[in-house]
Structure 1
Amino acid sequence: MTTQDPSPPRPADSAAETHRRQDLVVLTGMSGAGRSTAGDVLEDRGWYVVDNLPPSMIPALMDATADDPQRQRVAAIVDVRSRDFTQELDRALEGLTERGWKPRIIFVDASDESLVRRFDAVRRPHPLQGEGLLLDGIRRERRLLSGLRSNADIVVDTSNYNVHQLSARVDSLLSADTSVQLRLVVMSFGFKYGIPLDADVVLDLRFLPNPYWVPDLRPYTGKDPEVRDFVLGQDMAGIFLDHAEQMLRTAVQGYLQEGRRYVTVAVGCTGGKHRSVATAEELVRRLTDLQDSGVTLTPFHRDLGRE
């Protein structure tokens, strides 16, 4: 009588396979810019969020959550309160990359004016202010984090965002679709509210006639056909769009070759209601075929509704 050896046990997933499954976001940026709010947005969408984590502890966090199916999307919020912040974070990210993780860095930023207003509202000092002025602390932190900001995968400017806009922005950037190679956001904005700090490309539409000065068009927006036809019907608008489309198609090919995953194109007019909105929507329409190359296109209207 012979017996068969039992089937060999199914091998456990390798560490590298586990790392590929886990999604890690490192959320950092300027104090007062909305790190905690952005973390709340991620938590509401099912991410496991850990706040105020020393950068050196991020690898241990990933090891501790690697086998937990409920914690396969992890966000670590880190800030400048940690000693030797930038050096610690660089070492942690380098170690994670060597072990198979692909962390994404989200840098939350805001204008100095917005940060001063927020700190004044809560009557708290800036963590790097010391004996100086509030603005001194903000500028010191901005200098300290300049390298990290320039190397971040995503920069989100919260100067003019409410919670709903921030949620929409995060959703557009962190879709779970892993087939996407590049996420291209085409954002309309109003120059009078400030140029977006998170823009990679800025286009200025203020050379076109402004529908605001046409009484019948003033109440409408660039999403309405009356305004869209007025803006896009200008000869110079057509020429501008042709050049902008070609420039972006060329840039996208370069972004894909260089492995860029997130790009924001900001299209501005005076108030962010008419010309920029119509043009942003038209650019997205013209570039829709890029989706066949693994590019997602998302229109985002930062200042629509502010007037």
Structure 2
Amino acid sequence: MKLVLVTGLSGGGKSIAIRQLEDCGYYCIDNLPAEFLLPVARTLARSETKMAAVAIDARSHATFDNTLESLKTLRAEGFDVRILYLTASTPEITRRFSETRRRHPLSTHARAHSEEVTLQEAIERERALLEPVCAHACVLDTTGLLPAQLRRWVQQFVDQPESDMTLAFESFAFKYGVPGVADLVFDVRCLPNPYYTPELRPLTGRDQPVADFLADSPLVARMTDDIARFLETWLPAYRAQNRHYLTVCIGCTGGQHRSVYVAETLAKRFHAIVRHRVIEQHALLNPERARQSL
């Protein structure tokens, strides 16, 4: 049975992810106590359920430490186990809780034990609690993501064939900050910028005129080849550490031209996942522009 564990920070987007997995045909269970993971997974497998997803988070803090061991047991029993971890920056999580006016689960737990903690303290406690699972998961930073963009990334995650290590390239804009999920970061702001060519400015690195402009630059080719050689050299070392997922973030100033082109080029070379933090948001906000680009 294919089993997806959805976990991560409260307010990180787990509800959206679970709903998307349900739309993809998964049997979904939200807020499953961690100690029930083994019996529930085995019961679903006996009932010939082919795909299931369970959400386990900090509300199971008393037994959460056993989650990795349970997943190891399930893998040994033949389950195809994947872990999806959703996170966001502390200011983003704080804003989301302020908008919904809900209490953080760890704040509620602390109050029940006559302890007062701030929202920021609860968020950092939750990060520390979930850190062991985060190290074994596909991590998605939902800071600034639109719900539709997150749903698309979740579908991409489950559609990708399982391998010894899943490699993902993600373009981003330095002016919005480095994604929190980055395992490796490459700065391509030193490359020629199509932004300063008026007819290329409104386009993206996925548009052919921009791709042609960058492909004609020896600097771009050299940078792309150097990054590829670095990855070819060191990916075996990451695999040797039993890393299941590796996210390589490529950044430029606006996240629209250079980083997108380099990420696309590398993803094709390595047959990897590719995500574009900035231009996918623009496409969702401006569907007509996206259709013209395609």
Report the TM range for the smaller structure's normalisation. Answer: 0.7 to 0.9
Q: Which runs of 5+ in 1 are unaligned?
A: 1-21, 291-295
* Residue pairs, 1:213-252, within 5 angstroms: 213-252=196-235
Larger Rg: 1
Of 142, 157, 167, 1:173 maps to 157
Q: CA deviation at 1:43?
A: 0.8
C-alpha distance in 2 between matches for 1:177 and 1:303: 25
Q: Which moved more, 1:255-264 or 1:118-127?
A: 255-264
1:61 maps to 40
Output aligned runs, 1:1-307, within 5 Å.
22-69=1-48, 71-129=49-107, 130=110, 131-150=116-135, 152-175=136-159, 177=161, 180-256=163-239, 259-285=242-268, 287=269, 290=270, 296-304=271-279, 306=281
Residues 81-123 of structure 1 show CA distances to partners (whole Å, capped at 9, x for unaligned) of 1241432324433443454435322211111111011111101
Q: What's the counterpart of residue 288 of structure 2? A: none
Counterparts of 2:77 and 2:147, CA distance in 1: 35
Spell out, residue by residue over 1:244-293, the C-alpha distance to the aligned partner (whole angstroms, 9 max, x if none): 111122233444555544322211111110111111122233x1xx5xxx
Residue 211 of structure 1: how far off its partner (Å): 2.3
Conserved? CA contact 2:169–2:275, under 8 Å: yes
Q: Residue 128 of structure 2 aligns to which amino acid in structure 1?
A: R
SS at match of 1:63: helix
Contact 1:217–1:226, Cα closer than 8 Å, also in 2: yes
Change (3 A) 1:95 1:253: closer
* Structure 2: gaps spanning 5 or more residues: 111-115, 283-294
Q: Report SS of the residue matched to 2:278.
A: coil
Tell me the C-alpha RMSD between the 2 structures: 2.2
* 1:194 shift after superposition: 2.2
After superposition, give the CA deviation of every residue in 1:137-187 in whole Å (9 maximum; x if it has no partner): 11121122222212x231111113222222222222222745x44432221
Measure the CA separation in 2 of the matches of 1:108 and 1:223.
Answer: 27
Give the total of aligned pairs: 275
| Aligned 8 A contact 2:172 2:255 in 1 | yes
What CA distance in whole angstroms lies between the structure 2 residues aligned with 1:115 and 1:217? 36
Go from structure 1 to structure 2 and tell me whether the alpha carbon gap of 1:90 and 1:281 turns closer, same or farther (over 3 Å shift). Answer: closer
- Structure 1 residue 51: Cα displacement: 0.7
TM-score (norm 1): 0.81
* Separation (CA, whole Å) in 1 of partners of 2:58 and 2:67: 10
CA distance in 2: counterparts of 1:203 and 1:248, whole angstroms: 11
SS at structure 2 position matched to 1:58: helix
Which residue of structure 2 aligns with residue 17 of structure 1? none
* Contact 2:145/2:281 (<8 A) preserved: no
Report if aligned partners of 2:146, 2:281 keep a CA contact under 8 Å in 1: no
Instruction: Tell me the TM-score normalized by structure 2.
Output: 0.84
Distance 1:24 1:220 in 2: 39
Asked if 2 retains the 8 angstrom alpha-carbon contact of 1:232 and 1:238, the reply is: yes
Output the CA distance in 2 between the equivalents of 1:305 and 1:256: 30
Which has the larger displacement, 87-96 or 105-114? 87-96
C-alpha separation between the residues in 1 aligned to 2:280 and 2:80?
A: 38
Residue deviations 1:41-81 (CA, integer Å, cap 9, x gap): 11110111111111110111122112323x22111101111
Q: Using the alignment, how far apart are the partners of 2:31 and 2:258 within structure 1?
A: 42
Q: Which moved more, 1:55-64 or 1:252-261?
A: 252-261
The one-letter amino acid of 1:243's match is D
